[in-house]
């Protein structure tokens, strides 16, 4: 299935393909504050619809995940990194998907605070 999404003001827009079976809620220092619900997909399934220079990026700790956010409205629609095998992945914040029923997806809790 194809989904569309964006930040609050719409300056960052994207499409993503796949089947959402669960979302991940992480308690690391940044995810806890952002309140994101993450869905992980291969980078090839994600397409940014706006120019890359419209996106701001923040990295911290081990600098392996690029947390992307809108410099205008501050919303964090996605992040990029690699899985354990080195494959490029995107963590989509499903709260930023258009017309999506958040209550229909089970949430798995991840203890990122102790990593």
Express each pLDDT in 40-52 by its tens digit. 999 999 999 999 9
Closest CA to 16 of 55, 42, 52: 42
Express each pLDDT in 94-109 by its tens digit. 999 999 999 999 999 9
Give domain limits for the chain.
2-110
pLDDT higher than 70, residue 115: no
Residue 102, Cβ neighbours under 10 Å: how many? Answer: 11
CATH-assigned architecture of domain 2-110:
Beta Complex (2.170)
Q: Exposed, middle or buried: residue 92 (CB in 10 Å: 0-12, 13-18, 19+)?
A: buried
Q: Tell me, yes or no, if the pTM score tops 0.85.
A: yes
């Amino acid at each position: 299935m194809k989904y569309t999404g964006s930040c609050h003001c719409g300056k960052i827009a994207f499409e993503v393909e796949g089947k959402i079976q669960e979302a991940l809620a992480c308690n690391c220092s940044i995810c806890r504050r952002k309140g994101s619900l993450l869905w992980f997909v291969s980078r090839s399934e994600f397409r940014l619809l706006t120019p890359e220079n419209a996106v701001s990026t923040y990295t911290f700790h081990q600098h392996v995940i690029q947390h992307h956010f809108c410099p205008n409205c501050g919303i964090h629609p996605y992040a990029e990194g690699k899985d354990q095998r080195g494959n490029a992945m995107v963590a989509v914040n499903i709260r930023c998907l258009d017309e999506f029923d958040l209550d229909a997806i089970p949430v798995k809790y991840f203890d990122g605070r102790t990593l």
